[in-house]
Copies of this chain bind each other. A is one copy, B any other.
């Protein structure tokens, strides 16, 4: 486990947030925006591979991902690891598992990540003075549940091939609306070990399964990442219908 190597940098005002103009996110009223801008106390930059939060710790902060990818995971005592979900720009970190109290999972950066930092102990202000934002928080928690439900269905009941196809389609679906693939070609910044730990498979079998997907020209694995060639084909193979999500809130 490497050190966070965290640097507090100057703060990007929320009014100039590069994510907020995206059509994927709901619009904010000016007063909401100004409150969030005051709620945000700083920024945190984390290296790829570094740990953002550790299971069992108490974190005084909530984070919103400004850029980069990360993942949430839990481990068993003997080292077996299960990746629970992935975190991308616009996602809130720190709400999952508990509002207060110990973190029930760890978070690790997959790429260099920039985080907006919020003080957890100012949450009551949100609930008392900003009902719409409080509603958004619950909505966000509910969205996370929906993803976990899907992942649970997948791991529990889909075959290895369907599972892999689902995961890649899922990550593609989430990321494509975030304008993070400038050249158009979607590359997921994962290793096969991450895929294995998400699907609940061994790395050897994961490799053989991904190879089958590549043989069907649904994906191509290269340059330490997964290139999505045919997202529709992946969804079809997995029997997953994709997200039915219009605009979503983000804080």
- A-side residues, CB < 8 A to B, are 72, 74, 76-78, 80-82, 84, 95-99, 101-102, 104-105, 123-124, 127-128, 131-132, 134-135, 137-139, 141-146, 148-153, 155-158, 197-200, 239, 244
Q: Which of B84, B99, B157, B200 lies in contact with A138, CB distance below 8 A?
A: B99
Once the chains bind, are B153 and A74 in contact (CB under 8 Å)?
A: yes
Once the chains bind, are B239 and A77 in contact (CB under 8 Å)?
A: yes
Task: Please give me the residue from chain B that is nearest to A132 by CB atom.
Answer: B127
7 nearest CB pairs, A to B: A156-B200, A141-B141, A148-B148, A82-B156, A127-B131, A80-B157, A82-B153
Once the chains bind, are A84 and B153 in contact (CB under 8 Å)?
A: yes
Most buried by B among A74, A151, A244: A74
Q: What B residues does A157 contact at CB under 8 A?
A: 76, 80-82, 200
A131 and B137 CA atoms in complex are apart in Å by 13
Once the chains bind, are A141 and B152 in contact (CB under 8 Å)?
A: no
A183 and B76 CA atoms in complex are apart in Å by 35
Once the chains bind, are B141 and A135 in contact (CB under 8 Å)?
A: no
Q: Which of B102, B138, B146, B158 lies in contact with A97, CB distance below 8 A?
A: B146
Q: Which of B134, B137, B153 lies in contact with A76, CB distance below 8 A?
A: B153
Number of copies: 2
What are 28 A-B contacts with C-beta separation under 8 Å? A74-B153, A76-B239, A82-B152, A82-B156, A84-B153, A95-B138, A96-B146, A96-B149, A97-B145, A97-B149, A99-B135, A99-B139, A102-B244, A104-B146, A105-B149, A123-B135, A124-B131, A127-B132, A127-B134, A128-B131, A131-B131, A131-B134, A134-B134, A148-B149, A148-B152, A155-B200, A156-B198, A157-B200
Q: What B residues does A197 contact at CB under 8 A?
A: 156
Q: What B residues does A124 contact at CB under 8 A?
A: 131, 135
A124 and B200 CA atoms in complex are apart in Å by 40
Task: Please give me the residue from chain B that is nearest to A148 by CB atom.
Answer: B148
A150 and B72 CA atoms in complex are apart in Å by 12
Q: What B residues does A101 contact at CB under 8 A?
A: 244
A125 to chain B, nearest CB (A): 10
Q: What B residues does A153 contact at CB under 8 A?
A: 74, 76, 82, 84
